[in-house]
Amino acid sequence: MSKIGFDNALYVQKQAEYIRKRIEQFDNKLYLEFGGKLFDDFHASRVLPGFDPSAKVKLLMEFKDSAEIIFCINAGDIEKKKIRADFGITYDLDLLRVIDNLRGMGLLVSSVVITRYSDQPAADSFKQKLESRGLRTYLHRSTPGYPTEVDLIVSDEGFGANPYIETTKPLVVVTAPGPCSGKLATCLSQLYHEYRNDVHAGYAKFETFPIWNIPLKHPVNLAYEAATADLKDVNMIDPFHLEAYGKTAVNYNRDIEVFPIVRAILERITGRDDIYRSPTDMGVNMAGFAICDDAVVSEAAKQEILRRRYKALCDVRQGLADEETAGRIELILKQLSISAKDRPVIAAANEKSKESGVPVMAIMLSDGKIVTGKQSNLMTSAAAAVLNCIKVLARLPDELHLISPNVIEPIIDLKGNVLRMKQTVLSLEEVLLALAVSAASNEIVAFAMSKLPALAGCEAHCSRMIGQDDDSALKKLQVNLTCEPHFPTKDLFYQ
């Protein structure tokens, strides 16, 4: 069993209690800016073993009858078809996916705000699609002078030019499918309208990372820096909190830099200068109080930083990131004295690949045993490694074929001779489908297939970059993968 370093039940309990207290501080109306992912927060679950990837949604279920959700999406992201990397779908499609999931749980999604709107045709089409399905959709243009010209912002020409988003619940969660979606501006715009209607609402921010009440250079906080290296986020001691209370608290550069402006806007809207004295005050994060084993979360965070380093190197190789991003993560590794030697699957995959001359994937099971799989003319290294793992977990002999050639050969023939695909080897997803077909008539195969969930949380490394299909399947199995920054072939066109 994997070691647990985070008490998820305690976290949800403490977090819910703290948010309720924050609602009570205002006129029973709180706009809560929700950062990060509502579903599938796998970064948090990797660096805080025991954290439920859907913990935020379970937290919202505590407010099921008293909360509603507003989604913000940047019109520019719709126009550019920006992709959510972990799922490979555009932000607008991911927004629809998440709304469906939330509604399926009985949570109220009241509206969508398309922010930074400037007559983009794609944004108009998306608005029409949402409204045709009965979802209220608002357009917010860029606010003149935002965020520095407070007099203009807090006026009828600033926030007053935005349409008021109708809400009915005490807690209004403002969230988005990704960063830079206009969540803060939407919250502040709503406060402006609420105070004009004599409703003394409040604002607060909910972010899991960085964790404010653990050390600045704690591996968990450094893992956040590694995860946001492309945004150039840097954790800092909150100077406003230190001055106000004489206590150290961790925040990050963007929140600290913008705090004086946000405080000035809040003071102008509310007429009060005593609401928040620091950016940390604005937050409601209780994650630090639920860490139950610091050694476990520290080690998990170090592994996450290593994974981020290899991802950055692969992104650079594919032209998706600059070398500066990879360099920032390398500096974090040096701060913690971490190297590839601290990730055993790296050496296992690379050594086996050097011996065989083909791509090899190594997967470490929960008991520490490392299982490898190499690419063949039948299947990819990821597919081979997963099949070998479930044979080990089911205590089946290595020479046993879980999938009959009678199942594999027609698929290869279909890919090559009918669909005219250049690459005919089976991907992991295709192998899993073939495995399911075989399991229908073979109890041994069915038993081996039942071991697939045991791969969740396992560490893996491949001696070459893998294809999108294999990457997607491994993510669904929740295998933590890294790859060497080398293409598997000399072909220029490779996905």
Residue 178 pLDDT class (50, 70, 90 cuts): confident
In the chain, domain spans: 8-225+240-290, 344-483
Residues 6+ apart with CB under 8 A from 151: 268
Mean predicted confidence (pLDDT) in 297-323: 94
More confident residue, 116 or 148: 116
What span, in angstroms and rounded, lies between the C-alpha atoms of 34 and 174? 6
Residue 1 pLDDT class (50, 70, 90 cuts): very low
Largest CA distance in the chain: 76
8-225+240-290 adopts what CATH topology?
dip2346 fold like (3.10.630)
**Residue 87 has what pLDDT?**
67
Residue 36 pLDDT class (50, 70, 90 cuts): confident
Mean predicted confidence (pLDDT) in 450-473: 95
Architecture label for domain 344-483: 3-Layer(aba) Sandwich (3.40)
* Burial (0-12, 13-18, 19+ Cβ within 10 Å), 15: buried
Residue 472, token pair as written in the block: 């997607």
What span, in angstroms and rounded, lies between the C-alpha atoms of 322 and 76? 22
Mean predicted confidence (pLDDT) in 369-382: 95
Which of 381-385, 442-446, 466-470, 489-493 shows the lowest mean pLDDT across its residues? 489-493
CA dihedral 29, 35, 40, 42 (to 10 degrees): -140
Q: What percent of the chain has pLDDT over 70?
A: 98
What span, in angstroms and rounded, lies between the C-alpha atoms of 384 and 473? 13
Q: Give residue-wise pLDDT tens across range 354-372.
A: 999 999 999 999 999 999 9
Q: What values do phi and psi take at 173, rounded to 5? A: -90, 125
Q: pTM for the whole thing? A: 0.89
